[in-house]
Amino acid sequence: MKTVVFASRKWTTAMADGRIMNSGNPWQWYDDDCVNIINSNAYLSVKNKPNHIKYYDGREFDPTVATGVMRSEETFCYGTFKANIKLPCGYNLWPAFWLVGEGKWPDNGEIDICEGWTNAFGYFRLSGWRTTNNIHFAEYDTHQDIGCKNVPFCKSLLKPSENFIEYAVRWEPDSVVFYVNDKAVRTCGEDIAQYLRDKKMHVVFDFWTQGEKYDVDSNMIINNFHYKPL
């Protein structure tokens, strides 16, 4: 794990407690070499790089895919979060920009500002780009989410792997609004926002794959991140 400075903030190349993998995705692990800051841009990559990892709970894994992740050292609450991102090009990729609550998941919430999902046609789907948003939370100790929603073409005609696109969320005590290039693409009211009230969240950028079989032609590039509190 290393610390990098991007957009005037400090980020670590691992998740909570320095963990370098998520047991829910046992094929991949977080490699320092897959995160690079060049000319004020953050570059996240993936590569075939087998490793042997003893997890914090004693389980052992043999992931084969090294991936890049950046998690903010700071935590944030209400406000607007924005990033200009050129998503990676390839097959079976899973890049993302999200907020995750400090502490137990999903009790402390998760806001997925942009998750990209590629297939043989890249991010293209008949209903829009497969660059989705979502919210995860706990209700009666049970994991809930509002479901992934594709970004419609009318909100961004630009191809997400060929252009920098601004993905954003405005999080308030009684609402959560997602934006793409300053256009609102989804609004959630108090019925959902109540589960995120007063939570403290880390910002995460990551470039994962959807499995061990993938092809990658370019990196995930983030050329800006901005947070404006309420």
Count of structural domains, the chain: 1
Cβ atoms of 201 and 176 within 8 Å: the answer is no
Report, as an integer, the average pLDDT of 14-33: 94
Q: Indicate if the pLDDT at residue 81 is higher than 90.
A: yes
Cβ atoms of 100 and 202 within 8 Å: the answer is yes
What is the token pair recorded at 224? Answer: 């800006």
Q: Indicate if the pLDDT at residue 87 is higher than 90.
A: yes
Q: Indicate if the pLDDT at residue 17 is higher than 90.
A: no
Q: How far apart are CA 17 and CA 148, in angstroms?
A: 28
Q: How far apart are CA 230 and CA 24, in angstroms?
A: 34
Q: Indicate if the pLDDT at residue 56 is higher than 90.
A: no
Inter-CA distances, 131 with 30, 61, 73, 150, Å: 22, 30, 26, 6
CA angle 154, 7, 33 (to 5 degrees): 95
Residue-level pLDDT at 13: 98
Report, as an integer, the average pLDDT of 25-34: 97
How much of the chain, in percent, has pLDDT values that exceed 90? Answer: 93
Q: Provide the domain limits for residue 202.
A: 3-229
Predicted confidence (pLDDT) per residue in 108-129, tens digit: 999 999 999 999 999 999 889 9
Residue-level pLDDT at 145: 98
Backbone angles phi, psi at 196, to 5 degrees: -110, 5
Pick from 36-45, 153-162, 164-173: least confident: 153-162
CATH of the domain at 111: 2.60.120.200
Q: Indicate if the pLDDT at residue 144 is higher than 90.
A: yes
